[in-house]
Structure 1
Amino acid sequence: MKFRAFKDVSVAEVGLGTWQLGSADWGNVNEQEALQILQSYVDAGGNFIDTADVYGMGVSETVIGKFLKANTDKEIFVATKLGRRGDAGNGWPQNFTYDAIKRHAEDSLQHLGLSQLFLEQLHCIPTDEMRTGKVFDNLRKLQQEGLIRYFGASVETSEEALICLEQEGLASLQIIFNLFRQHVADEVFAKAQEKGVALIVRVPLASGLLSGKFKEDTSFGANDHRNFNANGDAFNAGETFSGIEFKEGVRLAGKIKAMLPDERMAQWAIRWILDHPEVTTVIPGASKISQVHSNVEASGLQALSADTHQQLRKLYDEEIYNKIRGHF
């Protein structure tokens, strides 16, 4: 595992996303399986775990908290997110007041068993809320009070990323960036690097499309977002298959696979992301230990050739970009 700088610490360039561990929107992962996935990731040299308060409404954070309690000898950096809760009178715009943000951060601290959050991120909140800047003032106050060490934002669009980059003290941006979403590098990366803001890449495998394992007739469970949100019916289509229609995505994934050095499509898709030096860490999820091992393997691969990068970008510009749906 190789590491990259995140402010004053070094984090694994391949992190672990834990949406799956909430046993919501991806099918079910029981607690024992979740703990084994976390252990496998850390045993492989990983130290950066991303979660959110709404992943199973605290389930993901709680299982991570149990894991941390059993691994106090290891330095593990946990990033969480807030802003999307709709329980007990919460919701938009109530979630963005100082009192609500503090309450949600304190809930995350309790779930994780921590006294301070390493990184608290806004969780794809409305663009207008980012633009006013008040929510960032609230995060700064939490930082001054010692509840959080750093704050960042998870965003849907380049426009939102650029809005956030104007905020003093922003430590990180979490963005969708993959072989089905290449233009983000053109629009955001240089500015983030100029500002010293870490880039956390989510949806690196386009919900599994870029693993090369799906066929046009592949089906998903009723509680899997790749079923109920395939066309953006529940939330932004960009979060599922990066906004590409599934069958079209399978076809395009086949074209991408033919350009890669060998059959390890998932690993090369992650390697492609890591070939961008502005990226701090990529956070593929895992519902199986084998997926953890596959993801981590990307850190040890050599960079793709300049010619391969050019071929992949040409395919993107000519056949992929105009097929993206949702906010991007």
Structure 2
Amino acid sequence: MQSRPFGRIGRSVGEIGFGAWAIGDAWGQVDDADAIAALHAALDAGVDFIDTADVYGDGRSERLIARVLKERGGERPFVATKAGRRLPQQTVAGYSAENLTAFVERSLRNLETDTLDLLQLHCPPTDLYYHPEVFERVERLVEQGKVRHYGVSVERVEEALKAVEYPNVASVQLIFNAFRPRPAELFFRQAQAKRVAVIARVPLASGLLSGKFRPDTRFEASDHRQFNRKGEAFDVGETFAGVPYEVGLAAVEKIRPLVPDGATMAQLALRWILMFDAVSVVIPGARNAQQAQANAAAAALPPLSDEVMQALAGIYDEHIRPHVHQRW
């Protein structure tokens, strides 16, 4: 596992991390034993960055992480969490000092730690980025020792560009994959210029880029890939990266011949993301130990050739771009 600097905070992390949404909820049934095995497998493979949120299973994801870290002992990995989506309605007023403090203190209890390594505002409303007082409230949490560093998780590139104008925003998390490459056009240059860490989420487009799905694949009722196809519960860009399912399946068939011998399509998709130096860490999810091991193994793939990168760009332009490029 190669490491990359995590922005300007003076710490490096392995370039493939662990996204802990799937072990919380909204991805179908994942029992505790599988979730714990996935976390152990990732950490055994050299993963040292875990991303979670207070709403993943109403704290379940955070609590499972704490349990595994207690079992393992030794040096803790870098654990990032998020706050804000517990609000009954997304408004700027909801990000009050009182609410932020309550969210942070709950995550501290769930994670069984005294200080959060990284607190991320969890896809707040766009208007929040124009309210510096919210960022000042997070600064107070840093001063109080409850938070070491803070950043944002965004839906739109425009939100990311606005967020990095705040000098103490240490990281930006956003969707970035071969079906959502727009951040590389402008935002990555801004992030590098300001030494802001970039966390790439939804790297496999909710599994579309694993190449394992078919038109007749069925998802559990509790899986967002079933209940959020049209953005019924949250931003549709979080489900299949906003790509219409059948459109994505057709594009995947174009990608299949590009997969290197001995690798999976998911590993190709992760390696594509790592071709961009601005990315600090990519956070694929895993529902079991085998998926976690395979994700980590993608770090060992050699760099993709110019021909493969151009072919993937061509597939995006032809099949995917009209559906997503200007939306996020």
Shorter-chain TM-score bucket reads over 0.9
Q: How far is the alpha carbon of 1:261 from its aligned partner?
A: 2.5
Instruction: Tell me whether 1:113 sits opposite 2:115 in the alignment.
Output: no
**Contact in 2 for aligned 1:80/1:121 (Cα 8 Å):** yes
Task: Give the partner amino acid of 1:11.
Answer: V
Task: Report the Cα distance in structure 1 between the residues aligned to 2:91 and 2:158, rounded to whole angstroms.
Answer: 20
Task: Give the partner amino acid of 1:51.
Answer: T
User: Which residue of structure 1 aligns with residue 224 of structure 2?
Assistant: 225
Q: How far is the alpha carbon of 1:91 from its aligned partner?
A: 5.5
Q: How many residues align?
A: 325
User: Which residue of structure 1 aligns with residue 271 of structure 2?
Assistant: 271
**Contact in 2 for aligned 1:174/1:200 (Cα 8 Å):** yes
Task: Report the Cα distance in structure 2 between the residues aligned to 1:254 and 1:11, rounded to whole angstroms.
Answer: 33
Secondary structure (helix, strand or coil) at the match of 1:21 reads: coil
User: Which residue of structure 1 aligns with residue 78 of structure 2?
Assistant: 77
User: Which residue of structure 1 aligns with residue 175 of structure 2?
Assistant: 176
User: Which residue of structure 2 aligns with residue 307 of structure 1?
Assistant: 307
Task: Give the partner amino acid of 1:28.
Answer: Q
- Structure 1: tracts of 5 or more residues without a match: none
Task: Report the Cα distance in structure 2 between the residues aligned to 1:51 and 1:113, rounded to whole angstroms.
Answer: 14
Task: Give the partner amino acid of 1:233.
Answer: E
**Contact in 1 for aligned 2:247/2:319 (Cα 8 Å):** no
**Contact in 2 for aligned 1:156/1:327 (Cα 8 Å):** no
- Structure 2: tracts of 5 or more residues without a match: none
Runs of 4+ in 1 over 4 A off after TM superposition: none
Q: How far is the alpha carbon of 1:93 from its aligned partner?
A: 4.1
What is the TM-score normalised by the length of structure 1? 0.96
User: Which residue of structure 2 aligns with residue 285 of structure 1?
Assistant: 285
Instruction: Tell me whether 1:18 sits opposite 2:20 in the alignment.
Output: yes
**Contact in 2 for aligned 1:220/1:226 (Cα 8 Å):** yes
Residues 151-170 of structure 1 deviation map (CA, whole Å, 9 limit, x = unaligned): 00000011000010101111
Task: Report the Cα distance in structure 2 between the residues aligned to 1:325 and 1:102, rounded to whole angstroms.
Answer: 36
Residues 5-57 of structure 1 deviation map (CA, whole Å, 9 limit, x = unaligned): 112112110000000111x2111212222111111111111110000000011
Relative to 1, partners in 2 of residues 1:324 and 1:91: Cα closer, same or farther, differing over 3 Å?
Answer: closer
Secondary structure (helix, strand or coil) at the match of 1:233 reads: coil
Task: Give the partner amino acid of 1:17.
Answer: G
User: Which residue of structure 1 aligns with residue 66 of structure 2?
Assistant: 65
Q: How far is the alpha carbon of 1:95 from its aligned partner?
A: 3.1
Q: How far is the alpha carbon of 1:254 from its aligned partner?
A: 1.0
Relative to 1, partners in 2 of residues 1:191 and 1:325: Cα closer, same or farther, differing over 3 Å?
Answer: closer
**Contact in 2 for aligned 1:120/1:152 (Cα 8 Å):** yes
Task: Report the Cα distance in structure 2 between the residues aligned to 1:250 and 1:74, rounded to whole angstroms.
Answer: 41
Task: Report the Cα distance in structure 2 between the residues aligned to 1:132 and 1:112, rounded to whole angstroms.
Answer: 29
Where does 1:134-153 land on structure 2 (aligned, <5 Å)? 134-153=133-152
Task: Report the Cα distance in structure 2 between the residues aligned to 1:94 and 1:131, rounded to whole angstroms.
Answer: 13
Q: How far is the alpha carbon of 1:133 from its aligned partner?
A: 2.1
Higher relative contact order (CA 8 A, sep 6+): 2
**Contact in 1 for aligned 2:52/2:62 (Cα 8 Å):** yes
User: Which residue of structure 2 aligns with residue 199 of structure 1?
Assistant: 198
**Contact in 1 for aligned 2:180/2:325 (Cα 8 Å):** no
Relative to 1, partners in 2 of residues 1:326 and 1:17: Cα closer, same or farther, differing over 3 Å?
Answer: farther
State which drifts further: 93-102 or 122-131: 93-102
Secondary structure (helix, strand or coil) at the match of 1:120 reads: strand
**Contact in 2 for aligned 1:232/1:326 (Cα 8 Å):** no
Task: Give the partner amino acid of 2:83.
Answer: L
What is the TM-score normalised by the length of structure 2? 0.96
User: Which residue of structure 2 aligns with residue 122 of structure 1?
Assistant: 121
Task: Give the partner amino acid of 2:98.
Answer: D
Secondary structure (helix, strand or coil) at the match of 2:186 reads: helix
**Contact in 2 for aligned 1:40/1:289 (Cα 8 Å):** yes
Percent of matched pairs sharing the same residue: 45
Task: Give the partner amino acid of 2:91.
Answer: W
Task: Report the Cα distance in structure 2 between the residues aligned to 1:319 and 1:212, rounded to whole angstroms.
Answer: 16
Over aligned residues, Cα RMSD in angstroms? 1.5
